[in-house]
Structure 1
Amino acid sequence: MNKFFSILALVLAFTTVNVSGSVLAADIEAGEQIFNANCSACHAGGNNAIVAEKTLQKDILADNGMNSVNAITNQVTNGKGAMPAFGGRLDSDDIENVANYVLSQSEKGW
């Protein structure tokens, strides 16, 4: 009986990991679409057309304290400096998907 529950627990654990991975992939894909529609005019390829030194590259994000979903979500929602706020244009799930996409791309070097 214990062996049965152990096997069941393993199956459920792997199923949950698989589903979570699929959801994350879908969220990043959604984030890419939203990014392309709303952000790429200034941030194409992880660059910054307005403030050239503030790119979306991994090291620059870290230097500016923007290397977390929370930090990016806050900036996209509220804006800062030359960047407008998108909180009134995009819902929180969309903004979080964009943040995950940006971090994913920064890990890959854009």
Structure 2
Amino acid sequence: MKRLISIFTLAIALFTVTFSNPAFAADAAGGAKIFSANCAACHAGGNNVIMAKKNLKKEALAEYGMNTVAAITTQVTKGKNAMPAFGGRLSAAQIEDVATYVLAQSEKGW
């Protein structure tokens, strides 16, 4: 019985991987436009006009656990503290594009 369950589980996993839609990389160039229109007022040049030490520079993102696209996406979507939530204003794809752009810019040093 254990062997049958293992085979069934493996078959489901293979089916899921084989027939799932491919993931597409986010669009950093599109993210730059969205950032400029929605984020730059507070975060121009990777800075933060509200809470200066919580900027978008590589070191600060790492310190606050915001150094992944997933973490930045969550922050932009839900907001936190003084940062408003953009989940109602931007689509999930737009937010992922912005997160990709922010992370790429932090790697470049803004």
Structure 1 length-normalised TM: 0.77
Equivalent position of 1:52 in the other structure: 52
RMSD of aligned residue pairs (Cα, Å): 1.2
Equivalent position of 1:89 in the other structure: 89
Give the deviation of 1:79 after TM superposition: 0.3
Structure 2 length-normalised TM: 0.77
In our comparison, the structure showing a higher alpha carbon Rg is 2
Q: Percent identity?
A: 66
Gaps of 5+ in 1: 1-22
Give the deviation of 1:35 after TM superposition: 0.1
Aligned ranges 1:51-70 → 2 under 5 Å: 51-70=51-70
Give the deviation of 1:84 after TM superposition: 0.2
Gaps of 5+ in 2: 1-23
Equivalent position of 1:108 in the other structure: 108
Tell me the SS of whatever aligns to 1:55.
coil
Q: Over residues 39-84 of structure 1, what are the superposed CA-to-partner deviations in whole Å (9 max), with x where a residue is unaligned? A: 0000000000000111100010000000000000000000000000
- Measure the CA separation in 1 of the matches of 2:93 and 2:58: 22
Q: Figure out how many residues of one structure are paired with residues of the other and give that number.
A: 87
Larger proportion of helix: 1
Equivalent position amino acid for 2:52 in 1: A
- Measure the CA separation in 2 of the matches of 1:79 and 1:100: 17
